[in-house]
Structure 1
């Protein structure tokens, strides 16, 4: 599906539109929502501030494996999708890209909780971009996985 930008600037409304129009139906079935996109540093931001996005994956039994644990595949898809939005925020607009590498370190299981993905761009490049995502349980805000990824900019 082709996508034409609708906003002069990338903001949360545009991000929500991209989520609904660009991603495959099975990604939309994950129950993702966009909590925030950060294109510019907020007032008083630290010197090492990085552009990014925060996505939420609503808890669903359909995303769980035995024992009611949210499956790793869903967590990895959440992280990948969140990183796309972080790169779009850093780029301040839509740009096609594809995942080249994603490494996930699972820290602990998450059960019966929404999962938050805080994605940050480490380096935005012309041909490659790199980022990191912290996945946390929305119930206690404790990390459940750390993800690093690389994207080819198309």
Structure 2
């Protein structure tokens, strides 16, 4: 099994993800054995008319974080596609970076399941949670 670390994850961010995801300026905070923590810096371009970070940006962050958690659990990036993401918005966030903590709950040969918690930096209270499912389309490095 190969090592999937923060440096590898940063390279993957620019190589695999769509340009508009790259425009979110997401940074890798930490990669563990079955988890990933990503930071999305606050930007006025991500807010609704009331200054609250929009749900679309939060769901994109959650989805992206889970790809990294699955890659960490797999020992490397595996082509995959989102099958389901059920999101619950618990509190609004304005004027703060967002931290996404993604954890793999179950990793199989063809499916992966996980959970993601998003919180404003400096605030331990969750702002959003997501339950996710991904179809695995290939082996690491393929």
The residue aligned with 1:33 is: 27
User: Is 1:67 equivalent to 2:61 in the alignment?
Assistant: no
- Equivalent positions of 1:77-88 (< 5 A) are 77-88=60-71
Distance (Å, rounded) in 2 between the aligned partners of 1:61 and 1:96: 32
User: Is 1:116 equivalent to 2:99 in the alignment?
Assistant: yes
Unpaired runs of 5+ in structure 2?
138-142
Which structure is larger by alpha-carbon Rg, 1 or 2? Answer: 1
The C-alpha deviation readout for 1:1-59, integer Å capped at 9, x for no partner, is xxxxxxx42111000000011100000111100001102xxxxxxxxxxx110000000
In structure 2, the residue corresponding to 1:69 is in which secondary structure? Answer: coil
134-143 or 98-107, larger mean C-alpha shift: 134-143
**Greater RCO (CA < 8 Å, at least 6 residues apart):** 2
Runs in 1 of length 4+ with deviation above 6 angstroms? none
Q: TM-score if structure 1 supplies the norm length?
A: 0.87
Unpaired runs of 5+ in structure 1?
1-7, 40-50
**Aligned residue pairs: how many?**
136
The residue aligned with 1:93 is: 76
